Amino acid sequence: MKRQGIVFLSLILGLCMLSAPAFAETEPAKQSDKTLKREFRLERSMSKQAEACIMCHRTEHPGMFSDWAQSRHAHAGITCIDCHQADPTDKDVSTEHAKQYDRSDNEWGKAEYRVPVASVVTPKDCSRCHPDEVKQYSRSKHANTIEIMWKLDPWLNKGMNTDNERKTGCYYCHGTVIKMKDGKIDPTTWPNVGVGRVNLDGSLGSCTSCHTRHRFSVMEARKPEACGQCHLGPDHPQIEIFTESKHGDIYDTFGDQYNWNSSPGTWTAGVDYRAPTCSACHMSGSGKIMTSHDVTERISWETQAPLTVRPENFKPFPAKTSWKIERDKMKAVCRQCHGDTWINDFYFDYDKTVEEYNEGYYKPAKAMLDKLYEKGLLDKTTYFDEHLEVQFYELWHHEGRRARMGAMMMAPDYAWWHGAYECKHRFNAFMEEANHLLKTGEKAYIYPTFPNTGGDTTKPEEIFGKMNDKK
């Protein structure tokens, strides 16, 4: 969408002391009579439309206003109108918001303040001030996660859940394809701040996934809790793994002493923080390694994939760089606090974990699954309606990921008890049932009443084009 240019703004937020009589040093108790008043003033070059937005939201949405007023945006004179104002021809212009200018109960609800407004602020909008960050983000797995999800996930491709289950679960983190309906955002696609959200202006993602509105705090995005909104649970428990690790322990103990508000690009190990968070390792600048909003960087294995592969060999979304280059970047980050012996020995353990998972668990189980399909003992029509399909899925999607990610982030309980230990039991149960079917020639039992299926299996046209493979 085309946004109008930023109006030069000046906003003064200050604490103004009310006049009070002087106090003698012999009467310190009377100092408590002093009062402070927080004053909010709009001055100089702000347009009347911008002022109307701020003052109306100040009354209607005080929480929203307070967040904005304390943000770096407010201190830089960036107001509602700079992010939300749209071109009248934009697809996402809100007709509902236009009704606010016809109100008789609000002094700001007048036609003279009318501007076209879009509810959804997109990375394309943010790129006017943050072009590098948006460019980096656009090539990341975060921004392209809907494409990756549709290329991998049987829940979507086989319609084994409902559209609403997807929206409230899968899409809340991965993102929806935003659509408009009757001048408003279609409620089947909103609210959503998923990292791969497809916006009406063609951009992918939502900056507010990590920098929540309307504070847009760099502090918030640097803390592991920001990532833990999505990276948690039985299938990718990075926040739990981080908490168990030495890094997480140090953060829990000393996190209140970290300098979270250091300027972007200057956050420094040993100066601003004692041990890294998710963003410190995967995104923040460190030593000579530059800051990046592309979380695909610095990764040398795809541990979320069924079979662990190098990022450039990950078929749903191949990385555009070599894993060796990215591993050297991550080693440089590690080197801010660790010596080479520690770093190299860590990667030796990590690589060995990947090898053992691939060769000992995944490949034999996948070969058995393929054999059962080939012999017609398992039915490919749907998915998850046969016990062996669930067993195989959870072997890689749950226990297998936990084992690899636990080793990757040095969390022994997840590497072993929640990971490899569970892999062994899942693998044995899978093989026992599979060998029974091969021996007897029986077909696997199909659950006749698998609940809540029927989700749309059409891949999003906005990503895959009009020629959809409706499997």
pLDDT of residue 27: 41
Q: What is the mean pLDDT of residues 188-193?
A: 95
Least confident of 14-23, 126-135, 267-276, 362-371: 14-23
Q: Say yes or no to pLDDT of 293 above 80.
A: yes
Share of the chain above pLDDT 90, in %: 83
Q: Say yes or no to pLDDT of 165 above 70.
A: yes
Better-scored residue on pLDDT, 180 or 471: 180
pLDDT of residue 358: 98
pLDDT band at 39 (very low <50, low <70, confident <90, very high): low
Q: What is the mean pLDDT of residues 114-137?
A: 94
Q: Which of 193, 190, 268 is nearest to 226 (CA)?
A: 193
Q: What is the mean pLDDT of residues 138-156?
A: 96
**Mean of per-residue pLDDT scores for the chain:** 90
pLDDT of residue 468: 56
Q: What is the per-residue pLDDT across 388-429, written as a single tens digit (0 to 9) for each?
A: 999 999 999 999 999 999 999 999 999 999 999 999 999 999
Q: How many CA atoms lie within 13 A of 5 on its CB side?
A: 2
Q: What is the mean pLDDT of residues 36-63?
A: 80
pLDDT of residue 36: 55
Tokens 């080197």 sit at which residue? 335
Q: What is the mean pLDDT of residues 277-302?
A: 96
Phi/psi zone of residue 441: left (φ > 0), alpha (ψ -120 to 50 degrees), beta?
left
pLDDT band at 30 (very low <50, low <70, confident <90, very high): very low
pLDDT band at 120 (very low <50, low <70, confident <90, very high): very high
Q: Say yes or no to pLDDT of 287 above 60.
A: yes
pLDDT of residue 19: 31
Least confident of 30-39, 346-355, 429-438: 30-39
Fill in the amino acid letter for 2: K
User: Could you please report the per-residue DSSP string of 165-183?
Assistant: HIIIIIHHHH--B--EETT
pLDDT band at 104 (very low <50, low <70, confident <90, very high): confident
Q: Say yes or no to pLDDT of 126 above 90.
A: yes
Q: Which of 119, 125, 77 is nearest to 100 (CA)?
A: 119
pLDDT of residue 31: 41
pLDDT band at 182 (very low <50, low <70, confident <90, very high): confident
pLDDT of residue 183: 81
Q: What is the mean pLDDT of residues 168-190?
A: 94
Q: Which of 59, 62, 61 is nearest to 107 (CA)?
A: 59
3-state secondary structure of 463: helix
pLDDT of residue 37: 55
| 210 Cβ contact list (under 8 Å, min separation 6) | 220, 221, 226, 227
Q: What is the per-residue pLDDT across 196-245, written as a single tens digit (0 to 9) for each?
A: 999 999 999 999 999 999 999 999 999 999 999 999 999 999 999 999 99
pLDDT band at 106 (very low <50, low <70, confident <90, very high): confident
Q: What is the per-residue pLDDT across 251-282, written as a single tens digit (0 to 9) for each?
A: 999 999 999 999 988 999 999 999 999 999 99
| 47 Cβ contact list (under 8 Å, min separation 6) | 7, 81
Q: Say yes or no to pLDDT of 284 above 90.
A: yes
Share of the chain above pLDDT 70, in %: 89
Better-scored residue on pLDDT, 56 or 40: 56
Q: Say yes or no to pLDDT of 18 above 80.
A: no
What distance in Å separates the CA atoms of residue 262 and residue 210, rounded to the nearest whole number?
17
Tokens 């040095």 sit at which residue? 410
The residue extents of the domains of the chain are 1-17+35-117, 342-440
Q: What is the mean pLDDT of residues 424-445?
A: 98
Q: Say yes or no to pLDDT of 1 above 80.
A: no
pTM of the model: 0.87
Strands 10-17 and 184-185: unpaired
Q: What is the mean pLDDT of residues 34-58?
A: 75
Q: What is the mean pLDDT of residues 335-348?
A: 98
